[in-house]
């Protein structure tokens, strides 16, 4: 069998599983996506401001490191370190992942942050352990709560904020990785 | 409706199955793949003026669907779906309209490492050239060729012997 024959044989499979969603349904959903995109300019800003005000009122950083900008001045994302060591991360805009990464590391969390679903090439996943994940990340966000004290030695967190498929708000996805200088900074 | 709908509809009908199959190879579950691809096409419609000018709109759809899946996957805290080729074949047969599904080919494709599978999908199913495949995956063109070469070798190892045994002597 030549390469061409092999490729042809494999290619034949590409229409073997039909996409059954009618185009009208796709377009109807597309209209909803487009409408949602037009609204956020004003409504999103108001909602964001309200959410930020609530977050600041509820989560003012009792143990936050001195010299850091107060959360109210960070418009894309907020990192708040509590007196008990927990860290609360809120992401409102997908901007400045490196800044978020630096902030988390400064707060003692070995962290890697990427946006838009890009996987960090230098990171290696830590074996899946739902119980450990629950201890480190607590309940379901938003905002995301990190318990650094629950991180096993040699592990770090990998955050990947992005838009959920349904065109909804930003979801702050999180996972555990093996800590390393190239991945999590330490 | 303007001038968008006919173009988009034509694009959708002409590329939906290839996009679905490409995404299916990555996510391993038909229902998930259908949802992701439908959502990606909806986003393409919402941004059709931009997407229609993309050098490879189908690759845009696939990339959008896979990015969404990575986010969802991470949100589920690394619950990695295990593709079941037999279930895919059964489901595809039940849905009817497509061509025949060869479970051996599905198994062979799903055995490939993720990156090789992505390269195969973009190069062979979406007919992207090496440069566009490299751009879509964010890797070097040489890396695309290397992955494709390894993938073809692996597929040959999996598929060729059986095919040769089937052939009349």
Chain B residues closer than 8 Å to A7 by CB:
124, 152
Residue-level pLDDT at A124: 83
Terminal-residue alpha carbon distance, chain A: 50
ipTM of the shown complex: 0.73
Smallest Cα distance from B20 to chain A, Å: 6
Of the listed ranges A41-50, B48-57, B109-118, B158-167, the one predicted with least confidence: A41-50
Residue-level pLDDT at B86: 54
The whole-angstrom separation of Cα A119 and Cα B70 is 8
Please, are residues B97 and B115 in contact by the beta-carbon 8 Å criterion? no
Residue whose token pair is 């895919």: B88
CA-based nearest residue to A146, from A87, A91, A84, A64 = A87
CB within 8 Å of chain B, chain A residues 40-69 = none
pLDDT below 50 — which residues of chain A? 40-74, 164-166
Helices (H) and strands (E) counted in chain B, each on its own, are: 9, 0
The whole-angstrom separation of Cα A28 and Cα A34 is 10
- Using DSSP bridges, classify how beta strands A170-178 and A155-163 pair: parallel, antiparallel or unpaired: antiparallel
Residue whose token pair is 């173009």: B7
Task: Note the pLDDT tens digit of each residue in B141-156.
Answer: 999 999 999 999 998 8
Residue-level pLDDT at B88: 55
Residue-level pLDDT at B7: 86
- Whether residue A19 and residue B20 make contact (CB cut-off 8 A), yes or no, is yes
The whole-angstrom separation of Cα B70 and Cα B66 is 6
Mutate to test the interface with B, among A17, A34, A166 (most CBs of B within 10 A): A17
Chain A residues closer than 8 Å to B159 by CB:
1, 6, 9-10
B148: how many CB neighbours lie within 10 A of its CB?
19
Task: Note the pLDDT tens digit of each residue in B103-126.
Answer: 778 778 877 887 888 889 888 888
Measure CB to CB from residue A37 to each of B38, B46, B97 and give the nearest one. B46
In the sheet that holds A111-113, the strands lie side by side as A111-113, A155-163, A170-178
Please, are residues B32 and B73 in contact by the beta-carbon 8 Å criterion? no
Residue-level pLDDT at A156: 92
Taking CA–CA distances from B126, the nearest residue in chain A reads A14
A107 contacts: CB under 8 Å, gap ≥ 6: A65, A79, A81, A87, A148
The neighbouring-strand residues paired with A77 are A91
- Residue A19, chain B, CB below 8 Å: the answer is yes
Question: Is residue B23 over pLDDT 70?
Answer: yes
Question: Is residue B97 over pLDDT 80?
Answer: no
């Amino acid at each position: 069998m030549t390469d061409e024959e092999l490729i042809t044989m494999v290619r034949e499979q590409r229409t073997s599983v039909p996409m059954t969603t009618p185009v009208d349904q796709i377009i109807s959903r597309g209209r909803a996506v487009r409408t949602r995109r037009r609204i956020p300019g004003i409504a999103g800003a108001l909602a964001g401001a309200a959410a930020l005000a609530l977050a600041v009122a509820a989560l003012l950083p009792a143990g936050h490191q001195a010299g850091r900008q107060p959360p109210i001045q960070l418009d894309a994302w907020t990192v708040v370190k509590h007196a008990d060591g927990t860290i609360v991360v809120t992401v409102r805009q997908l901007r400045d992942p490196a800044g978020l990464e630096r902030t988390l590391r400064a707060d003692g969390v070995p962290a890697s942050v990427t946006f838009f679903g890009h996987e960090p090439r230098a990171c290696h996943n830590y074996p899946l352990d739902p119980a450990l994940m629950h201890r480190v990340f607590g309940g379901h966000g938003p905002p995301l709560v990190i318990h650094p004290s629950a991180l096993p030695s040699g592990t770090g967190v990998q955050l990947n904020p992005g838009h959920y498929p349904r065109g909804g708000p930003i979801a702050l996805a999180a996972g555990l990785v093996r800590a390393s200088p190239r991945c999590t900074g330490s | 409706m303007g001038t968008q709908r006919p173009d988009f509809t034509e694009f959708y009908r002409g590329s939906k199955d290839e996009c679905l199959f490409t995404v299916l190879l990555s996510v391993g579950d038909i229902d998930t793949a259908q949802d992701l691809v439908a959502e990606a096409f909806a986003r393409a419609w919402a941004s059709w003026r931009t997407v229609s000018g993309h050098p490879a709109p189908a690759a845009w759809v696939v990339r959008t669907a896979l990015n969404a899946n990575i986010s969802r996957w991470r949100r589920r805290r690394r619950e990695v779906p295990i593709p079941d080729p037999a279930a895919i074949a059964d489901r595809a047969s039940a849905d009817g309209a497509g061509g025949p599904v060869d479970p051996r080919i599905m198994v062979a494709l799903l055995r490939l490492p993720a990156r090789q599978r992505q390269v195969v999908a973009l190069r062979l199913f979406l007919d992207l050239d090496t440069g566009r495949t490299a751009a879509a995956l964010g890797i070097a063109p040489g890396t695309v060729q290397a992955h494709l070469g390894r993938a073809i070798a692996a597929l040959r190892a999996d598929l060729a012997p059986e095919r040769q045994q089937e052939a009349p002597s």
